[in-house]
């Protein structure tokens, strides 16, 4: 029982860290995407923040914002 709970915990944890959705500033010309809405670059955005999939962001030629380089 304990093992099962641990397994479920690990599973949900892994799911959480997979960044399938990213955020962009909806100014129509941004080339950056952000992993968090709390990013300082995104907070400077005076347009609406848009949530898109990472796949679409990459397809559009967007790259990870410089504040969030890993």
Q: Which residues bind Zn ion (CB under 5 A)?
A: 34, 39, 41, 65, 67-68
**Min CB(41)–Zn ion separation in Å:** 4
**Min CB(16)–Zn ion separation in Å:** 19
Question: 3 or 67, CB closer to Zn ion?
Answer: 67
**Among the residues of 1-70, which ranges form H helices?**
2-17, 40-43, 54-59
The CA-atom distances, in angstroms, between 60 and each of 15, 36, 40, 47, 55 are 24, 19, 22, 19, 9
Question: 14 or 70, CB closer to Zn ion?
Answer: 70
Question: 10 or 55, CB closer to Zn ion?
Answer: 55
Distance, CA of 68 to CA of 70 (rounded, Å): 6
């Amino acid at each position: 029982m304990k093992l099962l709970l641990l397994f479920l915990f690990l599973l949900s944890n892994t799911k959480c860290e997979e960044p399938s959705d990213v955020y962009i500033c909806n100014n129509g010309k941004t080339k950056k995407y952000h992993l968090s809405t709390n990013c300082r670059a995104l907070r400077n955005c005076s347009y609406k923040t848009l949530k898109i999939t990472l796949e679409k962001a990459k397809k559009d030629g967007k790259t990870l914002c410089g504040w969030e380089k890993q």
